[in-house]
Amino acid sequence: MSVHDKSATQNLDHLYDSARWHRLRKHQLQEHPLCKFCMERGIVTAATICDHVEPHRGDVNKFWLGELQSLCQHCHVTAKYDIETRGYRRDIGFDGWPLDPRHPCYLWENKNKPDV
């Protein structure tokens, strides 16, 4: 099934109201109560969002079976938005470098490594 096949995707917003999702969300937040992205920056923040690591984009199988992560509201609307629009996060780690290995600065670094 191609990504252009409209029958492959649908609006799944109603599933967020289902008892099954509420159970999944509760389990995720109990197992991982802290925001994953904040933890990578050394910040302890309670997670409130159960987020699909890979956006399901209307795919029912990805919705139910896709990997989940716990995020705070701030990270969900900032870092996740960056990932979905730019393809990488822009937040900076302790060392002053972006945390996301997909950040373009690492592409530049890899391209300009001298041949050994």
* 68 is a contact residue toward Zn ion (CB under 5 A): no
Considering only 68, 72, 80, 89, the residue that binds Zn ion (CB under 5 A) is 72
* Distance, CA of 30 to CA of 26 (rounded, Å): 6
Residue 3 or residue 44: which is nearer to Zn ion going by CB?
44
Please, what is the minimum distance in Å from the beta carbon of residue 109 to Zn ion?
26
Q: Under the criterion CB under 5 A, does residue 49 sit at the interface with Zn ion?
A: no
Which residues from 2-31 bind Zn ion, rule CB under 5 A?
none
Chain residues that interact with Zn ion, rule: CB under 5 A: 35, 37-38, 45, 72, 75
